[in-house]
Amino acid sequence: MTEPESSKSRTEGAYDVFLSFRGEDTRKKFTDHLYTALVQAGIHTFRDDNELPRGEEISDHLLKAIQESKISIVVFSKGYASSRWCLNELVEILECKNRKTGQIALPIFYDIDPSDVRKQTDSFSEAFDKHEERYKEKVKEWRKGL
C-alpha cells in the first residue's frame, strides 16, 4: 500500500492546513463541517480540540503547527477578536506568511461582515476596547494583523 501523495512531501508533524477559529462561535457548526470535509479529502488538517485555560499563552505545540502548515484558514466570527488566543494565532499566521515561506492565509467570514474585521467595528471594536485595558501593546499588534 502506498502513502497518499499529500503525506509524502511533508515532514513528520507538518500540516497541509491549520484552522484558526473561535470555538465558542463555530466549533459545533461551520468549523466541524469544514474540518471533516478537509480530512475526508485527504488533507492533513490541524484543529485544536483542547480548550486553552484562560490566561495561558499560545503553546509551542500550536506555534509549531502554524509554522509547519502550508495553508492557514482563519474563520473570522463575531467573537473571534474577544479571544486573545485567536488573535495571537492570527499574528503568528501573518508572520509566517510574511516570511516568504510560501504559506497561504485564507480568511473565511462566518456570520460577520468582512468590513467589521477590516475596519475593526462592531464586535471587533468592543473586544479591542476590553483588551486595551490590560494588553495595550498586544492590541497594537493585533490591530495591525487585522
Dig out the grid coordinates for 89 from the structure: 494565532
Instruction: Note the pLDDT of residue 85.
Output: 86
Residue 89 falls in the annotated catalytic set: yes
Helices (H), 14-135: 23-26, 32-40, 60-67, 84-98, 114-118, 123-132
Report DSSP state, residue 81: G
Specify the CATH number of the domain 9-145: 3.40.50.10140
DSSP classification of residue 30:
I
Interatomic CA distance for residues 144 and 46, integer angstroms: 25
Per-domain residue ranges for the chain? 9-145
Please give the chain's pLDDT, 146 residues, in tens. Answer: 333 444 334 445 589 999 999 988 998 989 999 999 999 999 999 998 754 444 455 677 888 899 999 999 999 999 999 998 899 999 999 999 888 778 899 999 999 999 999 998 889 889 888 888 888 888 888 888 88
d(CA 108, CA 85): 18
Pick the catalytic residue: 89, 132, 133, 137? 89
On whether the pTM is more than 0.75, the answer is yes
